[in-house]
Structure 1
């Protein structure tokens, strides 16, 4: 009997096309019902229920009942990071399911990656934070500097609340569309929430796209000293 993590089991769970489509849909960060996920996967509700049971048993999804409905979401940041990395691997290898269209252009510019900002604007923010010394990189690891801490506080992010939880403050996430890094972790989530709360951007109701208003785009560029 071989010892160690059973990556084959996890790979098999993700590798089924219907389950892969469900997991990709949940990368929006929103919880969806079995009916909604069945539509995303292109399968019947009965078949979708079987897939969701397997994903839940494999700790890739978590379910929660609310009223008459049960909602499903990505189980953790770690699962989301693996899925984003697989999207990057597939895109970098030329494994794209459809040709690019207007929606893809919007997704490539700014989108939700589970709970943080991805796309060219997310990458621009990450690069600006590195350039301004707000994030330090060392041996493939990133960390928030004192300057970055102070900047986040001045932006209105309550750092004491973020520091009270055990999740990573900063994490580097490989962007599937650009094959470059954007900011994940608690701080990445907090900045995206701030952009939405300030009215700089809104989320697309039908996709993972994030739409910045002209004013929001100008404020974003001024705040992070980037050209978008």
Structure 2
């Protein structure tokens, strides 16, 4: 009979530790399934080499393949996005060797996709605004906790009655989201801000609605999100958030 020991953490570390595979995983953090050619371009490698790396990621359980007509699309397996975001909290900043890289890094920190919800300065500001307005109740130690103190196990915010109304006014029905299996809210530690942004089904629904309203725009083949002029005005009116534009 096989003996089950501890989890093989080293195997996962070896998969993530390759820079080509890491680049592919980071691209998939944008939350959209991608083709092998897209991922090869993102990693700067040839198609055959990309296929080899993708096969390792699929065999290792980090990626899932979805058929799409004649294509095969790759997405992150369940829980992998959360694991990657957690590791980004520990990772040192990447070296910047060009103006283009510096601008890209600044835009990524300002507003980005964290799989299916909004992260960066804008994502944190929205959650702070929801708490300040009384729409979310974070409970004890739930507001702006540092990465070093995120061990209390309290990872969800409660939506208040007023909050449900505020989301309804924006076009989001909290009652419908509560009936889903996915947690309604979850606090996700932002690796660049070192503060929480809003995740869970409500965080995902909020991002989708902001895109529908053209308050934010996701960029093709990028995690960067742009906040439009309408978005700045809308967030100021909805949550009294006035952010300095640093995109």
TM-score (norm 2): 0.83
Aligned equivalents of 2:13, 2:36: Cα separation in 1: 22
User: What is the root-mean-square deviation in Å for CA atoms of aligned residues?
Assistant: 1.9
Match for residue 220 of structure 1 among 235, 238, 241: 235
**1:86 matched residue in structure 2:** 87
Match for residue 179 of structure 1 among 170, 185, 194: 194
Instruction: Write out per-residue CA displacement over residues 100-120 of structure 1, whole angstroms, 9 at most, x where no aligned residue.
Output: 522222222111111111111
**2:216 matched residue in structure 1:** 201
Match for residue 33 of structure 1 among 19, 32, 35: 35
Deviation at 1:87, TM superposition (A): 1.7
Aligned equivalents of 1:62, 1:164: Cα separation in 2: 26
Q: Can you give the 5+ residue segments of structure 2 that lack an aligned partner in the other structure?
A: 141-151
Aligned equivalents of 2:57, 2:182: Cα separation in 1: 23
Aligned residues: 224
Aligned equivalents of 1:97, 1:85: Cα separation in 2: 20
Q: 3-state SS of the aligned residue for 2:157?
A: strand
Deviation at 1:27, TM superposition (A): 0.9
Matches within 5 A, 1:51-66: 51-66=53-68
Deviation at 1:72, TM superposition (A): 0.5
Contact 1:34 1:48 in 2 (8 A): yes
Q: Judging changes above 3 Å, is the alpha-carbon distance between structure 1 residues 145 and 54 closer, same or farther for their aligned structure 2 residues?
A: same
Bigger shift: residues 208-217 or 126-135: 126-135
Q: 3-state SS of the aligned residue for 1:173?
A: strand
Q: Judging changes above 3 Å, is the alpha-carbon distance between structure 1 residues 88 and 150 closer, same or farther for their aligned structure 2 residues?
A: same
Instruction: Write out per-residue CA displacement over residues 75-94 of structure 1, whole angstroms, 9 at most, x where no aligned residue.
Output: 22x2111111222221xxx3
